[in-house]
Homo-oligomer: A and B are copies of this chain.
């Protein structure tokens, strides 16, 4: 159970733009900062632009900037926009389902609740929360 790199890079691009709001940023700068493919980042920025998260200014001194205030960008909305499969199990999609138990099994309902549990945490956070300095960056929740 893992988010795609497309979602990961979308969130990273927004974080970078949120951290450089005083100027236009180029796609090359973002991709070099993270050491990821420029082509991949072009697609990410295009999608964020098409969905109103970033604005692109064309021309020689052009670049990209956030199109919304960081506090108006919900992490859950970005994940829903960029993640291609939020069907935790095959049976979440009646079209794709092959399992004969679909009408009698309780698993789908439980995984549906679990997905709600996941998304309701993300619902409570915006890009602005992500940009706040950590109170203590040694207290990482994941053991190294």
A89 to B8, CA, bound (A): 7
What separation, in Å, do the CA atoms of A118 and B112 have in the docked complex?
9
Chain B residues contacting A118 (CB-CB under 8 Å) are 1, 114-115, 117-118
Q: In the bound complex, do residue A94 and residue B1 qualify as a contact, i.e. CB atoms below 8 Å apart?
A: no
A93: nearest residue on chain B (CB-CB)?
B142
Copies in the complex: 2
Once the chains are docked, how many angstroms separate the CA of A112 from the CA of B121?
Answer: 10
Q: Are A134 and B34 in contact, with the CB atoms below 8 A?
A: no
The answer to whether A29 has its CB under 8 Å from any CB of chain B is no
A112 adjacent to B15 (CB under 8 Å): no
- The stretch of A42-50, A51-59, A124-132 in contact with B is A124-132
A sample of 13 inter-chain contacts (CB < 8 A) reads A1-B3, A1-B85, A1-B86, A15-B107, A34-B100, A35-B98, A75-B110, A94-B142, A106-B130, A108-B142, A112-B142, A113-B141, A117-B118
Q: Which 5 A-B pairs have the closest CB atoms?
A: A117-B117, A114-B121, A118-B118, A2-B85, A117-B121
Give the shortest distance, in Å, between A138 (CB) and chain B (any CB).
9
